[in-house]
Structure formats: C-alpha cells, structure tokens
A and B are shown apart, each in its own frame.
Chain A
Amino acid sequence: MVDTLTPVLTANWGAERSWTLASYEEHGGYAGLRTALGMAPDDVITAVKDSGLRGRGGAGFPTGMKWGFIPQDNPKPKYLVVNADESEPGTCKDIPLMMASPHTLVEGVIISSYAIRANKAFIYIRGEVLHVIRRVQAAVAEAYAAGHLGTDIHGSGYDLDIVVHAGAGAYICGEETALLEGLEGRRGQPRLRPPFPAVAGLYASPTVINNVESIASVPAIVANGADWFASMGTEKSKGFGIFSLSGHVTRPGQYEAPLGITLRELIDLAGGMRAGHELKFWTPGGSSTPLLTAEHLDLPLDFEGMAAAGTMLGTRALQLFDETTCVVRAVLRWTEFYKHESCGKCTPCREGTWWLVQTLARLEKGEGREEDLDLLLDQCDNILGRSFCALGDGATSPISSSIKFFRDEYLAHLTHGGCPFDPAASTVFATAGAQA
C-alpha cells in the first residue's frame, strides 16, 4: 500500500547528532557495507538491478543497468561520480540528506564503487552549500578513520578513496557531462555524446554518475534485499523516495514515501494547504517539470503516472502554489533563473531564454499582446529538443504548461493592464485570509 510513509533514508534524521558516524552506526549504519564486501561485485550490481531502483536525479534511468554498462575489460580506471549539485528550483532532498545523514551517502558510495570496481569516487557538491560540503567532508574523514575507506577496507582487499569536490556555482554542472568537465577543472559546459560517460567519462575513463539519493538508497537495498525494495512503490517505479513539499502548505518538508503516492495524500500528511487557501498549481519535480493543477491531485507520483499527465516525476520537488499566486509571475521568475543559468554553449538556450524573459516580462506588466502567447509557444517549440542539453528543454516547461492551463490568466494581465494579483497575498507574511 502506498498510503503510509516509509522512512528509510530519513529514518535516522531525528537522532541526536545524526550526522556523526557514532549515531549512524548506532542505527545500523555500515551494515550494508559489510554485507556487500562479502558479495561478489557483480552480485551487488544484480541486487541493485533486481531491486528496480531507478535514478533519483530526475530522469529515472535504471541504476543497476547503468552500472552494467561499465566495460569491465577496459584497462582504464573506473570512477564513480556522485551528482550532489542540487540546484533545481524547488528541489531540496539531497542537501537535507547530506546534512542530516552524510554517512548514508558515504556508505552508498563505497558499496556502489565496490560494485563497479572503482577505486576512486567523487562527490560533486553544489558550491553554495558550504555547510553541507563541510559535513560530507567530515563524514568522509570519519569513514577513513573507521577503516570504511582507504586501502584494504575491512580486510576485503578493496581500496577506495573519496574526493569531495565543491562546485563553483553553476546550475549547468548538474548536467552530468558538464559536471565531469567541471570536475576535470574545465569550464562547465555539457559534452558531446557519444562517447557516453560509461565508456569515456571522467578523464576519458569509464564513469558512473549517480544522484545522491540513488546512491544513498543502495545500502538499504543491500542490507534488506532487492525484494524488500521492490515490494514498495509501483510496478515500474519501485521503492521509496523523498518527496519535498514546499510552498503554500502547512508543514513543508521532506516526506519519504513509496513512489506512486498521490499529492493529495502528501498534502494530507503535511497538514493541508495553507489555512484558508486552495491548491492552484504545482510542480511534480522541480521547475523543469511541466506544472500541474488541482485536477491532478490524485495522479500517482511515479515515473509513469507523471509521464501520462504530460509531465515528469523529476526530483519529486513538489512546489505548491495556492490561488493567491500569479502563475505568470511565478513562471517569469523561473524563466529568469534559466536565463541566468544558461551556460551559453548552444544558441536556442542562450538566446531563447534571453528572449523568453523579455516577452514574459512584458506580458506580466500588461504590455504585451495576445499574439505574444503564440510567440512564446513558438519560441518554446524552437528551444525544446533543439538545445544541446536538457537545460533548454527545462526552461520551456513552465511556460508551455502554464499557458496550457492558465491562458486566461495571461490574458487577464493584458486586459487588466498589469498583474491582477496582490503580490503580498502569496507571501508568508500575508495577513491571514488575504485574498488575491
């Protein structure tokens, strides 16, 4: 059943000094590592394959299959790279996880590296979250001291070093090949594929790049078995995940639940929408996923359910907006983000986001024309699928989906000669019962 929370990754977050090795081990930490070291690496890969774990970074690619792509006959070193460059607007699961329980990630890194036979792993953490970087660095140091890292780990003959790398403030470095460029000390821009990272990734060597939450899920899978993991979730979206509720909800935060749970259930768990207000629109997985409305409250939050609704599960970053929010304003802010973060490599994203912002800004001020909506949709059509990487695609999602659901609200700006909403009404400090 999918109507209860399933705290696994978040289970120990409430413990006293949960980020320490002592606390983590007290709660059963590093048991999975000992189990894994007793297994053949290929059996670890098989377990992850059998569990049905799909990438938690948004795209949902089967993790075990990705590991299986690493050519083990390639004489070059293999690398595991953890993508901890969490920067998507609304997405806030990896950073709390690394803050509250960095050892879950470290243990996952060790097991995963063992499985793909990597002797060096990198954790690429978003540069702005210095507190998290420090915490993960401290956890890695603790793990070394405890013999979980270094040479001949627990007498297994397996060696592993982990490098914690701080990013330098670019959303694009969450794109896996741009991340590799950044890790190599170059300008963070996506690489041409092929070659794919599994064949020629970091330092032109076979490389697995996984999201923090994917890797953090591995110890539990190894400790409890693939069947245990696969028993949760839905048929094609197995297991649990962290759902990050933010916005106009009573108790925003991280809710770990099986995939396939609905937003209605999650909102109930979070104490409902802001008192006196109703859900207007929401993103299922960050700003890059086309937004949905209250009519989608009962859709299963899994990869298939979201795809069927024309959107994506993404990072399960559920941003909830009530009726006080101007959708045009929200979309413009997101679009400004993409304009700011476009790396500049390809034309559609670089120039398209520049133009989108101007068109949207004029609409928000009521200066546009109705034809501008068609212009916006045509601009989106010329960006989506034409850009070098998915950043450009993501930039179009909020625009095209918002016009789809809220065309009248755009037009209201034109007839009203500006935004018909009171921007203060959507804020935290709005007086109770404020109306748009």
Chain B
Amino acid sequence: MTTTPATTTGAERDVDLVQVTIDGIEVSVPKDTLVIRAAEQVGVQIPRFCDHPLLEPVGACRQCLVDVPDAGNGRGFPKPQASCTLPVAPGMVVNTQATSEAADKAQQGVMEFLLVNHPLDCPVCDKGGECPLQNQAMSNGRGESRFTASGGVKRTFPKPINLSPQVLLDRERCIVCQRCTRFAEEIAGDPFIALVERGAQQQIGIAESAPFLSYFSGNTIQICPVGALTSESYRFRSRPFDLVSTPSVAEHDACGSAIRVDHRRGKVMRRLAGNDPEVNEEWITDKDRFAFTYAALEDRLGYPQVRDRVEDGGDGSLRPASWPEAFAVAARGLAAAGASAVLTGGRISTEDAYAYAKLARVSLGTNDIDFRARPHSAEEEQFLAAHVALGTPGAGAVTYADLESAATVVLAGLEPEDEAGAVFLRLRRAARHGTRVLAVAPYLTRGLGKLSAHLVPTAPGAEADALAAMVEHAEHGVDATTVVLVGERLATSPGALTAAADLAARTGARLAWVPRRAGDRGAVEAGCLPGLLPGGRPVSDATARVDAAASWGVASLPEQPGRDADAIVAALVAGEVRGLVVGGVDPADTTDPAATRAALEAASFVVALDLRETEVTRVADVVFPVAAAVEKAGTFINWEGRTRPFEAVLPSPSALPDLRVLAGISEELAAAGHGAALGFRTVDEARAEMSDLGAWDGDRPAMRAAGATGAASGEGLALSTWKQLVDDGVMQAGDKHYAATARPAVARVSPATYAAASLSGEHVTVVGDRGELTLPVEQVPGMVDDVVWVPMASFGTSVLERLASPGSRVRLKGASL
C-alpha cells in the first residue's frame, strides 16, 4: 500500500507538445489533441453538436468545419475539415470561422441544413433558453430561413415516443448527432438505443422488446444538444431562464458526485450532473438525477411534536410543540431515562454526524453510538478504524483516477453498478482501456459483464477464503498495481475485511472501502462509532480521549467502550439502555428489523429526528423535523475520503439541520446539569470546530486477528442480497416514472441449484428464518451453486425483514402465481 502509481493528471505526465497556428495565433497543445479543442486554447469556440469531450469523435454533424490551408506538411486540405475528428499536426495552420470566410460559409451552410427539418418549436421546447442548437443558430447561422422562404415542407413525426418509462423522444427535434447512442454504448454500456431508418427519416429507436433501461439514461437528456430527449419528470415543467441553479453534491451514494440543483419558487424542478473531472466527470446516475421528490412529499414533518405521555396524564398521542418546548422535553426525557444511546443512519452530512458524535460523548456521556443502520460487525469497526478513517486523496488514499491507472481492480462485496454508480462508470472506462476487473461475487451480474470482469465465484460467507487465495494465485496478478475495493456488505462475511486488509498488506495492493450511503464515510470521520471519536481518535486510547476532551473543553470523555448498533438494540430490549436519540434510521434496514422495533418499544424515551413520518417517529416521545440535504449546508465525504462540501439550495422554514436540533437538546441538558452544550449552532460553527479539532496523529488501532471465517454451515442455500440502484429506498419516493425504471425483482440461482430444488415453474418461493418471499426465478449459468440471490429492497419491503439475514441459510420451494 505504499506505492503510488503514476497519476494521470496532466501536470505530472510528460506530454509531447505540438505547435499549431489557429487563426494566426500559435499555440502548443498535447499531441493528438483535436483541432476543435486546440482552438478552445486560443479562445475560439467552434460550433459543434456531435462532438463531446468524453465521447469518441464521430464527425456526424459537420458543424465544426474549418479551413486547413496547411496540414503541417505544406499542403492544405482542398475542402473544409471537421475539426472534431482532425488531430493537430506540427506546423498545422487552421483558420476557423473567425478568420476564414470559407469556414464561416461552411458552418452557416450546415447550420441552415440542420434547421431544415428541425421544427423550430423553441417557444414550447424544454430546451429553449439552454439549447446548443438555438444558441449556435444565433451565433453561426442566418436569421431568416431560406428553406421556409422557398416553401419547404418539413418532415414530421408523431410526438413524443417513450424510449423508457422516464425518457421521451421528440423525433422531429432530433438532429441525429448520436451523442445519446454513443453515451449509451461507450459510457454506460447499455446500447439499448440506436439509429434506425435512414436519410431524413433516420431516428433514434429502441427494440420493441428492449426499452432504454439504463441506470444512467438521464445523462442522454443532459447531453442532447436539442430538445429531442426529455424526462417525464421535467418535461413542460419549467423554463431554463426561470430556474435558479445551485451546485451541490448528490446525497444518494458514497461517490460524491457533483450535481446542479435547479429550482424555482422554492421548489426543486430538476437536477443535472455537475462537471467534476476528478470525481464523476459529467455523469450521474438516474437516482442522483431524478430521486429528489422525497423532500417535497405531503408527509414531510412540518413542526416539532411531543407526546402527551399517559404516565404524565396525557392521552399518549403526539401533539405539535414549539421548538423550545420540544428541546426542553427531549432534554428532560433523556436525562430522566438515564443511560442513553444514539443511532444515526448513513444519510447525514459530516457536520450533523459530528454533532451526534459529540452529543453522545459530552451530553449523554456514552460511547453508545453507531451510524451503521444495516448489518455490521465488530470486525468491520476495527477495519474502519485501522484502514479507512483519515484516508484522503492527498494522503495516498485510492482515487477515481487510480482506478484508471490500476492494472487490476478487485471488487469484493461491492456491485458498483447498483451501489456506486460513478465508481462503475470510471471502472468501465478503465476496463475499456485495459484495466482488468476481478469480482469476488456469486455470479457475473450484468453490471460486472459491462466491466468485462472476471468472476471469482464465491458464495456468501466465503469471501475471506477467496481473498486469501488470491495471494497464492499468481494468475490473478494481484500486486502493487492492484486496487482492492471492498463494499460495506463484506461486513456480513466473517473474516472477509481482515482478509482484504491482509491481501493488500501482502501484495502491496491498495485498498479502499466503498460504502453505499453518502454519509457513511463522513460518519466514520466524525466519530459515529462506538470505538472512534471524531478525527479517527480511538476511544481506547487515553491520549486520544484527552486530546478530544481538551479541544472540547470538558474534563473527560467516557472511556467505557461503546455498544455498536446491534448491541444498543439488545441493551434497549434488555433495559440496560433506556433513552435513545435516533435520526434517519429505518428499522427495515437494520440487522434485525424485529429486534429494532422491539428496542424502540422497550426504550423509555425516544427522540426522533427525521424528514417524514416513519414508524420510528410514530413511537417516539419527541419528534423533530430536520432539513433535507437540499435545505442545509453540509459536507459529504466520499469513498475516496474526498470532502464534498455543499451549500443550502433552498430555505427550510419548518425544519432545522440535525446539528441545530442536537445543539438545542444539549443546551437544555447542560442547563439542567447534564454534560456540556455542543457549543455550536450552525454548520459554519461546526465546521470551524471540526477544523480546530483536526485529525488524530497518534497511533492507529490495529485490527485484531479475525475470528472464524467461512460460509455459514447448515442445510439449504446461502442468501446473497444487495440493494439495486433503483428500489424501494425512502429517498427514492415520489417519482413514479423513475420508479418504473427499476429492474424487476427476481430470484437468481444456478441451473444446477434450480434443478436440485426440483423447481419447474417461473416462480420460486425462498424460505428463510424470518419469512418467505415469492419471486420470478432466473437461472444464471456460471453462478455458484447452492446460492440464491434476491434484491434487498425491490418488492415493497426488505429481505432483512421478510426473509433472512445476508449469508444465512434459506431454502427454495416451488411456487405458482
């Protein structure tokens, strides 16, 4: 883990420069630069449609024609050349529309042709106002149409057709630049759209049986240079010039993708991909793009509520309360409850996570805090402390660019297409340029297929052995040029994370942890773990505790090791812990949903912070409405360890950031003599304090030796499961068109397993210790036998609730529907 492969940033790479003259200005650009981009270096924008810097050149639209009087060999091209397909050559002379009448006429001619069959319905077109065709027709075209003046008749098509449940195509607006089809094929690997017909009838089409179902389909809408592609969600909703655009960061996964939020009159109308070459380039998942309506649903909490408890003479129901009253009631209740714990989901910002972490230590006097509202393990916590916390791109952590320069990338417990879209796209590009992907997984998913991945067939629970075996197997080629990406699901496989760390240590491979949720990595850094204080300070290290206590101005911090989420649940049920502060946790996501519900019932006092009414808020004693990501400033730390700060997009008159709520509670607690107040009320103040506290520079805890490894024994099949990108997640609610793009829920088994279970029909019932689930069954050749895969949350409820825990034993029985 000490080697640093050559980075791909321009500054550090030796590049051959080529000198060319563009519009009389000499400029040096890297070899193989296309003329259209070399011209940008001298400040000349050549009009273009099909050209896109992240797509392969195609030269289809012919808009970017330039005059080349000298190709570098003393001879010129007799005809105008497409600058988007022409690489520079030493001594080349190029005259663009700025200095060449021939180039200008050629461009005007092409522009006129483009408008021949374009409907010019700009006043009712969603693209109007931000349309490359509209803009460039103004800058590089003629004001009046000779086609119309000469009585021309345009080709028409019925409007619009669905390419998918979300993406619509107005064929008559399309200028068939092929950006969308090239994106689908080259970038996403989902070539479900293609050119059909020819001549002026040429259009984008889909096969009858295969709509454009891609997790990245929305990007085609964004790169469409006309208004041909629109989304059901945004079509006819707004005009670009009425929108206020705010840069932000996507809150749906740990990729840290840059996005742009467009809003109007306090309402988010759409989201677009931002442009961050180091992170997501110009692409985002459809989840990042379309799943934003959750923050504007009818059941958003609008005011604090407190319960009129029966024991206090009330009727036991929640009633609206003022913020000060709610703070006071919450503080009073927690103080009365005694031992209290904190559970947060992985969705919160780092600043909010920091507030939860500090509240637990200084106000509640406990290390009982955990952000892992999902199956987890003690081994995982050690792994996070030893190998994840404090890693940043500047300090040698794996980055997106490293995925491209790696010779091999090993994936374990991670399905990038479902769980980390931007990682998937970067891996796909890496794979197209020669990076080899090894996937420790039970079967070759479609996503892995798009990465040309080699499957290391592994049953759930056997990941540790598979990773350990890679050291010995030279054919896998795991060495210092390798990057190992482990997903959060590996926590459910005993010994696997230890084996991954061991593999990295023994081969020199570099290691990174890719969690699912946007707030997971920040929560590690902020100290939302029973054994970690903010800044990676180990609770077990007295110096680290003193360091944090001194910075916080408190006498001491609790030294008793905390409970993790599962232990907190058990302690609540057992009555050892009685108070609970819970924010953004869905019991259905937790290790044992029934136990979590029992814990909520058993707790004597529950303070809930949430966006919408949930089963947690329904049983809580005090409920605080909190701000959604779009309504507050914050920071996500992505899987690389890169900080991704964002500012508030919209005001939230009826909700506060989690940290402000926690500050209010802590101040009331401090006033009553319980601990210290948080000492900050705003995001800026929290950031300043986090910066003052800084990162731990002392010893890092090492991982203890792993316990038992290997697949769970017993009768039946091992259960493999993860969440598909588009599923029933609470933050994906509210957009039916987006929801309709979800992949259908199916159960997958190998043909041998199918046969062994004496199945016959198209459906199967999977039976686990928590219930059973009937789904269509799909036989996957090459899948590990005696394993069944089902999606975690694509059928109205979670596998954890309805079936069994991941890696545990289930059995199959025939079903008929």
Q: Which residues of A are in contact with B by a Cβ distance under 8 Å?
A: 170, 172, 187, 189, 192, 339-348, 350-355, 358-359, 362, 367-368, 372, 375, 378, 381-383, 385-388
**Complex formed: what's the CA distance from A386 to B198 in Å?**
19
- When the two chains form their complex, are residues A355 and B106 in contact, meaning their CB atoms are under 8 A apart? no
Please judge, given known A-B contacts A354-B155, A372-B150, A386-B80, whether A346 and B62 are in contact too, CB under 8 Å: yes
Residues of A within 8 A of B151 (CB): 358, 362, 367
A350-B200 contact in complex given A382-B110, A385-B78, A386-B110, C-beta closer than 8 Å: yes
Tell me the minimal C-beta distance from A422 to chain B in angstroms. Answer: 27
Q: Which residues of B contact A (CB under 8 A)?
A: 57-63, 65, 78-80, 85, 105-106, 109-110, 112-114, 116-117, 146-147, 150-153, 155, 175-176, 194-195, 197-202
| CB-defined contacts of A385 to chain B, threshold 8 Å | 78-80
B80 touches A375 (CB 8 A): no
CA of A341 to CA of B62 in the docked complex: distance in angstroms? 19
With a 10 A CB-CB cut-off, give which of A192, A345, A353 has the most chain B CB atoms: A345
A347 and B194 alpha carbons, distance in the complex (Å): 17
Task: Establish whether residues A388 and B62, one from each chain, have CB atoms under 8 Å apart when the complex forms.
Answer: yes
- Whether B106 and A344, one on each chain, are in contact in the complex, defined by CB atoms closer than 8 angstroms, is no
Q: A346-B60, A355-B113 are in contact. List 11 more A-B contacts (CB 8 A).
A: A189-B195, A339-B200, A341-B198, A342-B199, A343-B202, A346-B61, A351-B116, A353-B200, A355-B152, A386-B109, A386-B110
CA distance A350 to B106 in the complex (A): 16
Measured CB to CB, the closest approach of chain B to A167, in angstroms, equals 14
* CA of A378 to CA of B110, assembled, Å: 12
Query: Which residue from A343, A348, A372 sits with its C-beta under 8 Å from B113?
Result: A348
Complex CA distance for A157 and B85, rounded to whole angstroms: 43
A347 contacts B199, C-beta separation under 8 Å: no
Knowing A355-B113, A372-B150, A385-B79, say if A347 contacts B63 (CB, 8 Å).
yes
Assuming the A-B contacts A192-B85, A354-B200, A386-B109, are A347 and B62 also in contact, with contact meaning beta carbons closer than 8 angstroms in the complex? yes
Closest 7 pairs between A and B when the two form their complex, measured CB to CB: A382-B109, A344-B202, A385-B79, A351-B113, A342-B199, A351-B116, A354-B200
Q: State whether A192 touches B57 (Cβ < 8 A).
A: yes
Nearest A residue to B153, CB-CB:
A358
Q: How far is the CB of A353 from chain B (nearest CB, A)?
A: 7
Measured CB to CB, the closest approach of chain B to A9, in angstroms, equals 33
| B80 with A350: CB separation less than 8 A | no
A347 in contact with B113 given A359-B150, A362-B151 (CB within 8 Å): yes
A353 and B112 alpha carbons, distance in the complex (Å): 13
* A348-B109, A351-B114, A354-B116 given; A342·B175 CB < 8 A: no
With both chains docked as a complex, state the minimum distance between the C-beta of B73 and any C-beta of chain A, in angstroms.
15
A330 CA to B109 CA, complexed, in Å: 26
Residues of B within 8 A of A367 (CB): 151
The winner among B62, B63, B117, B151 for most chain A CB atoms within 10 A is: B62
CB-CB under 8 A for A388 and B60, given A187-B195, A344-B199, A354-B155: yes
Kindly state the separation between the CA atoms of A342 and B116 in the bound complex, as whole angstroms.
Answer: 15
CB distance from B161 to the nearest CB of A (A): 18
Are A355 and B199 interface neighbours, CB within 8 A?
Answer: no
Q: Report B57 CB to chain A, min CB distance, Å.
A: 7
A351 touches B198 (CB 8 A): no
Residues of chain A lying within 8 A (CB to CB) of residue B199? 339-344, 350, 353-354
Complex alpha-carbon distance, A382 and B106, angstroms: 6
Q: Which of A359, A375, A382, A388 contacts B59 (CB 8 A)?
A: A388
Residues on A with beta carbons closer than 8 Å to the beta carbon of B146: 375
List 9 A-B pairs, Cβ < 8 Å.
A192-B58, A341-B199, A342-B199, A344-B197, A345-B176, A347-B114, A355-B116, A368-B150, A382-B112
Give the residues in chain B near A348, CB-CB below 8 Å. Answer: 62, 109-110, 113
User: What is the CA–CA distance of A347 and B202 in the complex, to the nearest angstrom?
Assistant: 11
- With both beta carbons as reference points, the residue of chain A lying nearest to B199 in the complex is identified as A342
Interfacial chain A residues near B62, Cβ < 8 Å: 346-348, 386-388
Q: In angstroms, how far is the closest chain A Cβ from the Cβ of B735?
A: 34
Which of chain B's residues have a CB closer than 8 A to the CB of A341?
A: 198-199
Bound Cα distance A346, B198 (Å): 11
Cβ of A47 to closest chain B Cβ, rounded Å: 32
A387 to B60, CA, bound (A): 9
- Residues of chain A within 8 A (CB-CB) of B109 are 348, 378, 381-383, 386
How far does the alpha carbon of A352 sit from the alpha carbon of B113 in the complex, in Å? 6
List chain A residues, Cβ under 8 A from B153. Answer: 358
In this complex, what residue of B is CB-closest to A392? B62
Residues of chain A lying within 8 A (CB to CB) of residue B60 = 345-347, 388
Q: Please, how many angstroms separate the alpha-carbon atoms of A348 and B105 in the complex? A: 13
Contacts of A353 in B (CB 8 A): 199-200
Determine which of B85, B106, B116 lies in contact with A386 in the assembled complex, contact meaning CB atoms within 8 Å: B106
A344 near B110: Cβ-Cβ < 8 Å: no
A184 to chain B, nearest CB (A): 15
* B110→A347 contact, CB < 8 A: yes
Known interface pairs A351-B114, A354-B116. Does A170 touch B198 (Cβ–Cβ under 8 Å)?
yes
Q: Complex: how many Å from CA A359 to CA B152?
A: 8
CB distance from A340 to the nearest CB of B (A): 7
User: B63 and A355: CB pair below 8 A?
Assistant: no
A385 to B175, CA, bound (A): 20
A351 touches B200 (CB 8 A): yes
Contacts of B117 in A (CB 8 A): 351, 354
Give min CB distance, A145 to chain B, whole Å.
Answer: 40
Q: How far is the CB of B605 from chain A (nearest CB, A)?
A: 67
Bound-state CA distance A382–B153 (Å) is 20
CB distance from B684 to the nearest CB of A (A): 52
Nearest CB on A from B72, distance (A): 15
Q: Which of A344, A358, A386 contacts B195 (CB 8 A)?
A: A344
A-chain residues with CB within 8 Å of residue B113 when the two chains form the complex: 347-348, 350-352, 355, 382
Q: How far is the CB of B432 from chain A (nearest CB, A)?
A: 15
Complex interface: chain B residues within 8 A of A387 (CB): 62
Chain B residues with CB under 8 Å of A350's CB are: 113, 176, 199-200, 202
Residue from B61, B152, B198 in contact with A347 in the complex, judged by beta carbons closer than 8 Å: B61
The residues of B that contact A343 with a CB separation of less than 8 Å are 198-199, 202
In contact, B78 and A342 (Cβ under 8 angstroms): no
Report yes or no: A386 in contact with B176, Cβ–Cβ below 8 A. Answer: no
Question: Which residue among A347, A367, A382 has the maximum number of chain B CB atoms within 10 Å of its CB?
Answer: A347
Q: Hey, which chain B residues are within 8 Å of A339, CB to CB?
A: 199-200
Report the bound CA distance from A331 to B263 in whole Å.
Answer: 55
Chain A residues near B194 (CB-CB < 8 A): 187
Residues of A within 8 A of B105 (CB): 381-382
- The residue of chain A having its C-beta at the shortest distance from the C-beta of B77 within the complex is A385
Kindly provide the distance from the CB of A97 to the nearest chain B CB, expressed in whole angstroms: 28
The CA of A341 and the CA of B200, in the complex, are separated in Å by 10
B65's partner among A344, A362, A386 (CB-CB below 8 A) is A386
Chain B neighbourhood of A355, CB < 8 A: 113, 116, 147, 152
The residue among A172, A350, A381 with the most chain B CB atoms within 10 A of its own CB is: A350
- Given the complex, which residues of A lie within 8 Å of B197, measured CB to CB? 344
Q: Given known contacts A344-B201, A350-B202, A351-B200, is B116 in contact with A362 (CB within 8 Å)?
A: no
Q: With the chains together, A340 CA to B201 CA distance in Å?
A: 9
Closest Cβ of chain A to B63, distance in Å, is: 7
Chain A residue nearest in CB terms to B87: A194
Chain B residue at minimal CB-CB distance from A338: B199
Residues on B with beta carbons closer than 8 Å to the beta carbon of A172? 198
Give A351 to B116 CA distance when docked, in angstroms: 6
Contact between chains at B152 and A358 (CB < 8 Å): yes
Query: Smallest CB-CB separation from B154: which chain A residue?
Result: A354
Q: Which residues of A contact B57 (CB under 8 A)?
A: 192
Q: What's the nearest-Cβ distance from chain B to residue A305, in Å?
A: 21
Residues of chain A within 8 A (CB-CB) of B198 are 170, 172, 341-344
**Chain B residues, Cβ within 8 Å of A192:** 57-59, 85
Which partner residue on chain B sits nearest A344 by CB separation? B202
A187 and B202 alpha carbons, distance in the complex (Å): 12
Q: In angstroms, how far is the closest chain A Cβ from the Cβ of B153?
A: 6
For residue B254, give the distance in angstroms from its CB to the closest CB of chain A: 38
Query: CB-CB < 8 A to B61: which residues of A?
Result: 346-347
Chain B contacts for A359, CB-based, 8 A: 150, 152
